[in-house]
Structure 1
Amino acid sequence: MNGFAVGLRCLAQGQRWVFGRPRWLLFGLVPALIALVIYVGALVVLALHAGDVAVWATPFADDWEDPWQPLVRVGFALLLVAAGLMLAVITFTAVTLIIGDPFYQSLGEKVEETEGGAPAGQGRSFWQDIRVSISDSLQVLLRVLLLTIPLFALGFVPVIGQTVIPALGFAVSGFFLTVELTSAALDRRGLPLKERIRLLRRRLPAALGFGVPLVLLFLIPLGAVLLMPGAVAGATLLSRALAAEPSVAPGHGATVAAGTS
């Protein structure tokens, strides 16, 4: 299995899996719909107040003449909303997975069952699973912020701020979206968060092939809701494919063969 096409194929297969099983599709939509209501409200508030935040954040432009003052402040407001959308794509998945943990655990296990069986898992209780999921999601969010904030600042740089930086933003979002979605399946195989990130970093083309198209699809209205069940199914398939590569025993640091891209 090689490259970007691997992740893209797993994404497509996951969507086909759930859309071929309407009961599981409807089952997986419930947590995504709950999260959608929360996020729509938050993004509306952000959009309504982005102009005020731009004025507060750019006091140095108070005495600037037209067109520079409105250009800077409108640009800042647009970047703020864009950053909010990108952050929403990442955190939407994390929040939806936390809300829907029992839903998506069952969905992922069903996918594994149809593909030849799932590992025994970690033997944790429901509340322990929730605690681990929240902890892992917060750690992923911290990593995203450490990368997103510098990218946001670089968005003001002429030319690269409108070309290279958005592309890097999609790549970062796609990678960590894959980290979030594969968390349950890889956790069942005994890989802690750091090992999961290391595994996906070594198979970066596959991780981006899965995550970047999904980020773009999630930007379509209601795309994140409709595609979330299939994203979970596809991430399970991707996890199975990656975990099938040579590795040491789970729980002792997975050293996965890098493979070719």
Structure 2
Amino acid sequence: MKEFFFGFVYPIKSIGFYLKHPKLVLYSIVPLIINIIIYGTIFIISYNYLTDFSSKITGSGIVDAAWWQELLNILLLIVFFLLVLVICYLAFVTIGNLVTAPFNENISRYTEMIITNKEIEYNVGFWKDAYLSVKAEGLKIIFYLSILIPIFLLNLLPVIGSVLSTSLGILFSFFFNALDFLDYPMTRKFFTLRKKINTVTSRKMLSMGFGCCVFFMMFVPVINVLLKPVCVSAGTALFFEKKYISNN
């Protein structure tokens, strides 16, 4: 449990580390703008569509709508708002990561230089670096969906389906967020996806604690956009501080 707690508070502690290094903040400007555009667009489109849909099916949009129609509309809006958060989260950890991968790589690389106090021997060139970063994100997305879709289908089971699906979905999200943000230094070392997964699971409680905190950070609007670069830096720092690589 000590490892879980250490991993959980690590992203929070990393905010101070991140702000102490202006170059990390500078590297974050472009991905920050991209993430604002992606998240904002998906949020606005999804929310507007669902609010219009709610108004139509409850009839609350008419002039002489009954009180129960207004109440039903409010309840549906709450449900739809939570649904929008889920949609935005899924888009944020897939589309957002894919598009910003090369920029997040710069944040991770500079963090590694600070933590290890060494120059990084990784001279693959800008375009190959971008290709490797995007390829790594693409493989993770395929892995993510290949697990998430079967978990979602558990909802079809009677009685326990929804509880089982929700529980497994949350636990898998903890794991995937750990994999996602610990990934950058592993990609630079040309780890296969299988080796990345084995590396993350070699410190199960530490990884799950870290992934748990990151999950909540990535789920909350505005906070997720602002703290995503911090999580990239935190994942790299944790990877070297806790010597994940020595376990493989």
Question: Which TM-score bucket, shorter chain as reference?
Answer: 0.7 to 0.9
In the alignment, what sits opposite 1:215? 215
Q: Deviation at 1:161?
A: 5.1
In the alignment, what sits opposite 2:203? 203
Aligned-partner SS, 2:18: helix
In the alignment, what sits opposite 2:145? 145
Q: Do the aligned partners of residues 246 and 183 (structure 1) sit closer, same or farther apart at CA in structure 2, a change above 3 Å counting?
A: closer
**Length, aligned pairs only:** 226
Give CA-to-partner distance per residue, 1:119-162, whole Å, 9 cap, x none.
73443111111111222211111111122222323345566455
Q: Distance in 1 between matches of 2:46 and 2:34?
A: 19
Output aligned runs, 1:151-190, within 5 Å: 151-155=151-155, 160=160, 163-190=163-190
Contact (CA 8 Å) 1:182, 1:236: kept in 2 or not? yes
Aligned AA for 2:207?
Answer: A
Give CA-to-partner distance per residue, 1:87-120, whole Å, 9 cap, x none.
124215513532xx2x433432332233233473
Aligned AA for 2:198?
Answer: R
Q: Do the aligned partners of residues 138 and 219 (structure 1) sit closer, same or farther apart at CA in structure 2, a change above 3 Å counting?
A: same
Q: Deviation at 1:37?
A: 0.9
Q: Distance in 1 between matches of 2:7 and 2:86?
A: 25
- The alignment yields a C-alpha RMSD, in angstroms, of 3.4
Aligned AA for 1:154?
Answer: L
In the alignment, what sits opposite 1:108? 108
Q: Deviation at 1:183?
A: 2.1
Alignment pair present for 1:17 and 2:20: no
Q: Do the aligned partners of residues 9 and 130 (structure 1) sit closer, same or farther apart at CA in structure 2, a change above 3 Å counting?
A: same
- TM-score, structure 2 normalization: 0.74
Q: Deviation at 1:233?
A: 1.3
Aligned AA for 1:44?
Answer: I
Output aligned runs, 1:81-100, within 5 Å: 81=84, 83-91=86-94, 93-95=96-98, 97-98=100-101
Unaligned runs of 5+ in 1: 54-69, 248-255, 257-261
Q: Distance in 1 between matches of 2:242 and 2:114?
A: 17
Q: Do the aligned partners of residues 130 and 199 (structure 1) sit closer, same or farther apart at CA in structure 2, a change above 3 Å counting?
A: same
Percentage of matched positions with identical amino acids = 23
Aligned AA for 1:88?
Answer: A
Q: Do the aligned partners of residues 159 and 45 (structure 1) sit closer, same or farther apart at CA in structure 2, a change above 3 Å counting?
A: farther
Aligned AA for 1:133?
Answer: S
Q: Do the aligned partners of residues 48 and 155 (structure 1) sit closer, same or farther apart at CA in structure 2, a change above 3 Å counting?
A: farther
In the alignment, what sits opposite 2:61? none
Q: Do the aligned partners of residues 142 and 188 (structure 1) sit closer, same or farther apart at CA in structure 2, a change above 3 Å counting?
A: closer
- TM-score, structure 1 normalization: 0.71
Contact (CA 8 Å) 2:217, 2:224: kept in 1 or not? yes
Q: Do the aligned partners of residues 104 and 117 (structure 1) sit closer, same or farther apart at CA in structure 2, a change above 3 Å counting?
A: farther
Unaligned runs of 5+ in 2: 54-71
Aligned AA for 1:120?
Answer: I
Alignment pair present for 1:227 and 2:227: yes
Q: Distance in 2 between matches of 1:20 and 1:158?
A: 52
Q: Deviation at 1:242?
A: 4.5
Q: Do the aligned partners of residues 206 and 145 (structure 1) sit closer, same or farther apart at CA in structure 2, a change above 3 Å counting?
A: same
